Amino acid sequence: MQLFVYRLVYPFLWMISKLPWRIFYYFSSCIYVLIYHVIGYRKKSVTENLTLVFPEKSKSEINKIRKAFYKHMCDMFLEMIKSISITDKELLERFKITNIHTLKSLESNNKSIVVLMAHYASYEWSTVTQLLVDYPTVGIYKQLKNKYFDRLAHRIRKRFNARLIASHNAMNEITKDKTNGRLCSYGMISDQSPRIEKAMFWTDFMGIKVPAYLGAEVLAKRLDMPVVYLQVEKIKRGHYKAQFIPITENPKNCEDFYIVKTYLSLLEKQIRKAPEYYLWTHRRWKHRNATIPKGATID
């Protein structure tokens, strides 16, 4: 069944990826009408999330952000499909990194690097980094249930000499890289909500007390990897700029939770500045009323 679905869907994905840019974004606008006005995909959840974190905003303001978000979301997910055939030249023109020297400077320390990212603006096109630096780029991701689409995700990254590691196997693979003397930049999206039984650190995010995902901080401290945040901004439709913001060069000397708190603070500033570019469909605040596990740290 998985192969059947893949063979049925992939030709359409490929055709979408080959559309000229103007038609491509016209198609995205049509998808927006379908998703937002006809299907109403997760509209209730998005409204609840926005109302929760922006209690000071009026209903009309929330609706305005919600509409802008859905338009961006459709663009973003179609841009993921565009990655099937986008050229290096197009990627470099549309996703510009303004201070690549920051990452190159860290490379000179001969240590692998943790690049923290978020569900904000564009995270898919961050593979452009591999075209600009010496270290291999490795993305930590949640493995797809359909193994054929999962292979497609790997194939897309290989076009840019990047590599993917499933999140459940990240510690083993990164440790193996270190043992073998392989230096890499590891991209990790760390704004998701951990499972409640692993929610051992709770802090404020967008004014709400929630558990924070600690995987990146644990890896950085254990394997002594400098940490930076890739701050991505949307300039206009289909165009982004990003910069690397250093968090620490010496993670082992950081206080516990410093890395994750700094990361969430940087992300929150972006969200408050332009909330329409955050992924409001995911359930980031689902544990806000849950019982905090015994032994957890509350900030």
Q: What amino acid occupies position 161?
A: N
Evaluate if residue 69 carries a pLDDT over 90: yes
pTM of the model: 0.93
Per-domain residue ranges of the chain: 88-298
pLDDT at 191: 92
CB-CB neighbours of 237 under 10 Å: 13
Q: Grade residue 270 by pLDDT with cuts at 50, 70 and 90.
A: very high
In angstroms, the Cα distances linking 21 to 17, 123, 166, 238, 251 are 9, 19, 31, 9, 42
Tokens of 73: 């979301």
Measure the CA–CA gap between 232 and 230, rounded to whole angstroms: 6
pLDDT band at 32 (very low <50, low <70, confident <90, very high): very high
Mean pLDDT, the chain, as a whole number?
Answer: 92
- Which candidate, 199, 217, 293, places its Cα nearest to that of 256? 217
Distance separating alpha carbons of residues 44 and 138, to the nearest angstrom: 35
Average pLDDT for residues 15-21, to the nearest whole number?
95
pLDDT tens sequence across 87-126: 999 999 999 999 999 999 999 999 999 999 999 999 889 9
Q: Give CA–CA dist 72/299, Å, rounded.
A: 33
* Residue environment code for 173-189, b if the CB has 16+ CB neighbours within 10 A, otherwise e: bbeebbeeeebbbbbbb
**Residue 253 CB partners (closer than 8 Å, separation 6+):** none
Euclidean distance between CA atoms 182 and 178, whole angstroms = 6
Q: Which residue has the higher pLDDT, 143 or 98?
A: 98
pLDDT by residue (tens digit) across 219-230? 999 999 999 999
β-partners of residue 202 are: 211, 298
Confidence of residue 263 (pLDDT cuts 50, 70, 90): very high
Q: Name the DSSP class of 89.
A: H
Mean pLDDT of 240-250: 97
